[in-house]
Chains A and B, each alone.
Chain A
């Protein structure tokens, strides 16, 4: 596997289910991101992890719970979701941020298409 991979690619779940999305990067990066992509809306940044530390939580509801056990893996745990949470969830990674002025290109995974019934 190369680049950024995400599993599963498609997920259908009921509002009372608990599920997890997985992201893995094979690029040696130290920063990872979760984005939500809904139809006709801009991509929304959800969470950022930099060297395994969460540095950004963009006012995401608590029914979304991220976990970053190491620099290569990022999870998004889902519980009691709502139908409006149905979207494409994209993971990305980049070199870790050591300073606020630096730019590091983000590489995206293919996404998980989530449908909440």
Chain B
């Protein structure tokens, strides 16, 4: 079974600064997807960024980028130029391509962006 670990329950960053959220996972599979989801205080979960395991290039979406280290089973999220609207819970998630509908989530990191 796959597991996803987020070791930082809470983090804080000042506006305009950069912050990195950590995620590690455990799997014996070679092909899979990794995700970062954001859940703002309003509770609607939205997808931030997605990475296919077979791609060596790290995914980027505007201010959001990942550092995907397949051998180390590490998948961190970097948020550049942090904004107040980035305040949210961030969940790392794993999906095995063999069971494409099944997401396995970590426990989340609560990020607070301050002035």
A-to-B contact residues, CB < 8 Å: 31, 33, 40-43, 45, 48, 50, 55-56, 88, 90, 92, 94, 97, 99-106, 108-111
Contact = CB atoms under 8 A, between A and B. Distances in A.
Given A42-B104, A42-B106, A101 B44 contact: no
Contact of B44 (A45, A99, A110): A110
Contact of A103 (B95, B104, B107): B95
**Interface of B, helix, strand, loop or mixed by DSSP:** mixed
B25 to A, nearest CB: 12
Interface string B93-108: 0010111111111111
A99 B101 CA distance: 10
B103 A106 contact: yes
Contacts of A101: 97-98, 100
Contact of A108 (B9, B45, B98, B104): B45
Given A41-B107, A42-B106, A88 B100 contact: no
Given A88-B43, A102-B100, A104-B101, 11 more contacts: A40-B107, A41-B107, A42-B91, A43-B105, A56-B102, A90-B45, A97-B100, A100-B97, A101-B98, A103-B95, A104-B100
A100 B46 contact: no
CB-based closest 8 A-B pairs: A108-B45, A43-B105, A42-B105, A110-B44, A111-B43, A110-B43, A42-B107, A48-B101
